[in-house]
Chain A
Amino acid sequence: MCEGLNILKQGAEAKLFICNYLGKPTLIKERFKKHYRHIDLDVSITKERIKNEARLIVRCKIAGVKTPALYLVDFERRRIYMQHFENSITVKDFIINVVAKNEKEIDKALNFVAKQIGETVRKMHENNIIHGDLTTSNMLLVEKLPSNVQDDTKWFHYDNLELVMIDFGLSFIDTSTEDKGVDLYVLERALISTHNNFPDLFETILNSYKNFSTKNIKEIISKFDEVRARGRKRTMVG
């Protein structure tokens, strides 16, 4: 079905393989068995997440949010086959390894990436898509046209970059503002813990999120503040 399987990396819940499927560079995401949890629980979680991932990728396409194209779902082998972006970098790597080392570009690069993130997340929420795991590891920057530039300077040609969302295992469809608020809260927390050297990043993202569309924005933001308060003020006894 797919020749030449090379393991790319092992994440927390899946192994990623690169191969060539029907002549296209393909990424296989295999949600391997987790022996620590009860077998029934493992099977149901895995099945649900594969389903979610496939379903939400399609949903994002309709909403105009960039994601990898879905090629094949194989429940038997717990695999999803999807488009592999050869010229890409995770936003996490971009911020930590590229931006931080090019001082002159910091402001411009962060503003660009924050605007992209804010707009993309807003677009998803407008379509009631809740990502469920918004971190900078789950966002890719991809070159629209491969530039063949070898060094990092290619990541500063912003016109040639687009943001691609990945990893929809925890995603779902929901119309409530509560889930959108939680989604934003998860993103804020991820940024605080991973990119603590750029404390303003989330604020910039949130502004772009707010400005992209005005529909329901008051309700979402007040829900977000409520979720935030719940987390921060929770009595932490014992």
Chain B
Amino acid sequence: MVIAIGFEGSANKLGIGIVKNGEILANCRRTYITPPGEGFLPRETAEHHQENIHEVLREALDQSGLSPKDIDVVCYTKGPGMGAPLMVCAIVARTCAKLWDKPILGVNHCIGHIEMGRLITNAKNPTVLYVSGGNTQVIAYSRQRYRIFGETIDIAVGNCLDRFARVLKLSNAPSPGYNIEQAAKKGKKYLHLPYCVKGMDVSFSGILSYMEDKIDELLKEYTPEDLCYSLQETVFAMLVEITERAMAHCGSDEVLIVGGVGCNERLQEMMGVMCEERGGKVFATDERFCIDNGVMIAHAGALAFQSGTRMDFRDSTITQRYRTDDVLVTWRDD
């Protein structure tokens, strides 16, 4: 039995979670929200995390009803992510490990999302679509690694949506993507946008620059809602298409959607229709687990810890670039 605490702060979400054998004992989070038209920058985001992390840690411990001595392993996000915010969590995690005299374990953020999704939905061996502000990947498991079959060759889908929200000056609360989703529900008129699939890879930067360059002209003919609608329909169609390709390629009939964009209901709906047409099944989670959180780091860390993975204290560093397929999956034997 492993009780793990996880610190996550790779982007603008700060989360601390505690799990005991897949049972969630605490899931606390704060989000750094910037004014409309602006994105979050590393330094300010790190300051936000610094200001909040002690309070969130206290909250998580209280919520779980545990004291530090009950915890078996301290997990934190090693990467990928923004350097300064990652560092804040790593330092606090290291301090806790020393104070409490517990082992420390760095976790790959992407693996955290995948394992969290598998835990919540009970999907066994799904093709995974991981979509967020920093990542867009189609992943499938094979021989002790989560292998990347397709990914974006430039910006992430969430980044494309967020930056378009900035062009329209939509609010960043609770998240730009959420506000695009709500606006899109009112959109009627469909605008043809560049559609860019290359094999199992996709590209979004062309769509974004097209929208940015022509925004004044477009707004004469289309409402902001129409544009949000057209953008969502186009980029999600691309994502569903590459996911279907990967499924056909691997002969799989399950899809798991994870990452912040994964809680978009239109994306889930489109994926559902695709799966139905080929006799498959889609698994998705809601914002509590889709959006970055500490539980996913604790859970993925606990799995690794239980299967024997250990980290020397001197190696408890962070890295901004850490690919999903770099991690040796010791906890699966299929």
Contact = CB atoms under 8 A, between A and B. Distances in A.
Interface of A: 10-13, 34-38, 40-41, 44-45, 132-135, 137, 170, 182, 185-186, 189-190, 192-194, 196-197, 227, 230-238
Interface in B1-58: 10-13
B132 interface: yes
Given A132-B199, A193-B149, A231-B153, A137 B249 contact: yes
Given A12-B244, A40-B192, A41-B192, A235 B274 contact: no
B320 A235 contact: yes
A170 B197 contact: yes
A191 to B, nearest CB: 11
Given A189-B200, A236-B110, A237-B82, 13 more contacts: A12-B244, A36-B271, A135-B249, A137-B249, A182-B198, A186-B200, A189-B148, A190-B199, A235-B134, A235-B321, A238-B11, A238-B135, A238-B259
A36 B274 contact: yes
Interface string B244-265: 1101110000000001100000
7 contacts: A34-B277, A36-B270, A186-B201, A196-B145, A237-B320, A238-B135, A238-B260
Contacts of A12: 241, 244-245, 247-249
B248 A37 contact: no
Enumerate the 8 nearest inter-chain pairs by beta-carbon distance, A residue then B residue, closest first: A237-B134, A238-B11, A238-B134, A236-B80, A12-B248, A186-B199, A36-B273, A37-B237
Given A237-B82, A238-B81, A38 B200 contact: no
Given A235-B321, A238-B292, A35 B199 contact: no
Contact of B147 (A36, A41, A193, A235): A193
A170 B199 contact: yes
Interface in B260-288: 260, 270-271, 273-274, 277-278
Q: How large is the interface on B (under 10, 10 to 19, 20 to 34, 35 or more residues)?
A: 35 or more
B143 interface: yes
Contacts of B237: 36-38, 41
Interface of B: 10-13, 79-82, 109-110, 132-135, 140, 142-143, 145, 147-151, 153-154, 156, 158, 190, 192, 195, 197-201, 233-234, 237, 240-241, 244-245, 247-249, 259-260, 270-271, 273-274, 277-278, 292, 320-323
Nearest to B140: A193
Given A182-B153, A235-B134, A13 B11 contact: no
B290 to A, nearest CB: 12
